[in-house]
Chain A
Amino acid sequence: MGSHKFSHEKIPLEKIENCIWRIPKYKPGMRVPGLVFANEKLIKKMQTDRTLWQSANVTHLPGIYKHSVTLPDGHEGYGFPIGGVAATDYDEGVISPGGVGYDINCGVRLLSTTLSEKDLKPKLKQLANIIFRNVPSGLGSRRKDFRISASELDSVTKEGVKWLIKKGFGWSEDAEHCEESGCMRNANPQKVSPIAKKRGLTQLGTLGSGNHFLEIQKVDRIYDENKAETYGINFEGQVTVMIHCGSRGYGHQVCSDYLRIMENATHKYHINIPDRELACAPGKSNEAKDYYQAMACAVNYAFSNRQAIMHWVRQSFKQTFNQDPETFGLRLVYDVAHNIAKVETHKVNGGRKKVWVHRKGATRAFPAGHEDIPVDYRSKGQPVLIPGSMGTSSWILSGAEKAMDLSFGSTAHGAGRMMSRSAAKRKWWGEDIRINLEKRDIVVKAASPIVLAEEADDAYKNVDVVVDVSDNLGIATKVARLTPMAVIKG
């Protein structure tokens, strides 16, 4: 597999224009250059760790087109940087589980309500408490009254959110407002290991811990009224709910299992890659086909996970206000994946090519008119949801044309860490963070005060800066900024 030793040499970087940098083909094995989208401050941060080295490593993947992409929130990941995108040829290229990551379809869903901040204020604490009770969060948490059998798990991962909707967990219109309509149809549970299934069985409908969260938010500012209205964002002060989590142990195990399989495949097909975590196989091989079918199961698991959680959020509104959730809107705006591989068609060298797009900590950002956008949003562009770190703003953007030229229809996915967890813990105590947020009138419910300290917002890059770069480049443009009223964390 070659040495995966990191070299401390400075990665060469050429500034092409404002916020666009190129890593030239500076070492043997690089098939294309790397492209990095960042302002001066963000690029300096990327130069402090292995982010750019990983961006260069990704360009070694056989069949890669144009350039590897590193988005403004890019930071050091495993194999790929987080905030990384790569497209490989459908026939001649490879698929790499490292280009998707361990938390397959970690993603975000947003609900809009008809309530204003003022309407909710008197009930906010009560609502946050009820959601905290209804939605399992934190280490090893699960709902005692929600159990599925092994065969039901297979149905969930085959059918995605539609299975849950059929069982009463949601409204029929929810599915259309998910990426892939909440189901990748190539899912095949036979390609998922028994261990992955066992891990998944008890974790459906759980938030998890770490950077995952559920927030009650308000619309802080609308930047594009026309698009906002189409997405159901109608006025400043409007209450929204954001759910950020992924495929839990099910997806983590799928990634891990296939990393082993792909490692053997990398040898078998004589592929030269500079990092064990970039293990891959030709898209046409059985190994790759199996991974793609298993990955799709994990993708569907994650969509369904967020669907179950959303259902309990709606129920929590009902319990708080003693009225049906429909009274408050509670409409699903959109659900997007941040960690996924897909077959898409993209402009390459003047033609159109079918490719494997890997998005690792990246959000699909298709422009207006694209057929994969829900019909009611299609004329405006795909909603892009970017969560901030705890206590800061989150964003709704809209996919734009430039994304198809620069980033294979993708933009950033979040803030990206600046500070290590241990440094954050040394600097802050969980309780201080809670008091600080509460001073700003934000209600906090957390299973672990340690997670609060680790996830303190100062430990992250400012998400507003990340979004500015995306907006300036025109890969996804600002629609509305959301700020938290209540944070629920594992």
Chain B
Amino acid sequence: MHRNKKFKFLEHTADVYIASYGKNIEEAFENAASAMFEVMTNTKKINPSFEESITVEAKDELALLYNWLEALLVNFEIKNMLYSKFKIFPFKKNPDSLIIEAKAWGELFDPKKHTQKVGVKAVTYHRMEIIKKRNEVILEFILDI
């Protein structure tokens, strides 16, 4: 199934409810990250000039999504980094864990340049789903804001 959208915002009263799409799970994870930064700012204005490597490990796919988004959120809060481009290499599978090795591109947050939208407090497991179809993976998750 071909979609022209990387992600969309779903209806939810309290917080931000996102669906992200990909040809495979890695791409859906990349688009989930784009969606999270779109909540915080206008990602079109982020210049992908710095490259960073990010590694995340978790015991299942849901936890991996949680940890991946949290790692990026932590980088924003600690290093002041905003990202607009992501590359996730095929997940590594250990006997009892999954590993993401990824690259993210972005730049330092500059309130004069970057639109201030809403700060994300946390990633949550609430309503989190990974839906695997034949040619597409859909992720649904909620961010606490």
Contacts and interface: CB of A to CB of B under 8 A. Distances in A.
A118 B78 CA distance: 44
Interface string A246-262: 00010011011001100
B124 interface: yes
Given A75-B14, A454-B118, A139 B124 contact: no
Interface stretch (A228-236, A319-327, A414-422, A434-442): A414-422
Nearest to B8: A422
A140 B80 CA distance: 7
B114 to A, nearest CB: 8
B13 interface: yes
B136 interface: no
Nearest to A101: B144
A6 B142 CA distance: 15
A82 interface: yes
Interface in B15-69: 15-17, 40-41, 62-63
Given A140-B111, A421-B16, A198 B118 contact: no
A185 B60 CA distance: 37
B78 A195 contact: yes
Given A78-B126, A139-B41, A451 B117 contact: yes
A61 B144 CA distance: 23
B118 A256 contact: no
B143 to A, nearest CB: 10
Q: Chain B: interface secondary structure?
A: loop
A243 B107 CA distance: 32
A209 B118 contact: yes
Interface in A2-51: 4, 6, 49
B89 interface: no
A259 B124 CA distance: 10
Given A78-B124, A451-B118, A418 B76 contact: no
A210 B126 CA distance: 19
A256 B11 contact: no
A354 interface: no
A276 B125 CA distance: 7
Nearest to B128: A276
Contacts of B116: 138-140, 209, 447-448, 490
A79 interface: yes
B91 interface: no
B70 A256 contact: yes
Given A140-B80, A195-B74, A208 B119 contact: yes
Nearest to A419: B13
Given A79-B126, A195-B74, A195-B78, A139 B119 contact: yes
Contacts of B62: 276
Contacts of B70: 256
25 contacts: A76-B12, A76-B13, A78-B124, A79-B126, A102-B121, A102-B122, A139-B117, A140-B80, A140-B116, A195-B78, A199-B78, A203-B77, A249-B77, A252-B122, A252-B144, A253-B74, A256-B123, A277-B124, A277-B125, A417-B14, A421-B16, A422-B9, A448-B116, A454-B118, A490-B116
Interface of A: 4, 6, 49, 75-79, 82, 102-103, 138-141, 195, 198-199, 202-203, 208-210, 249, 252-253, 255-256, 259-260, 276-277, 417-423, 447-448, 450-451, 454, 490
Given A4-B125, A140-B76, A252-B121, 12 more contacts: A75-B14, A79-B126, A139-B109, A139-B117, A198-B74, A209-B118, A209-B119, A249-B77, A252-B122, A420-B11, A451-B118, A454-B118
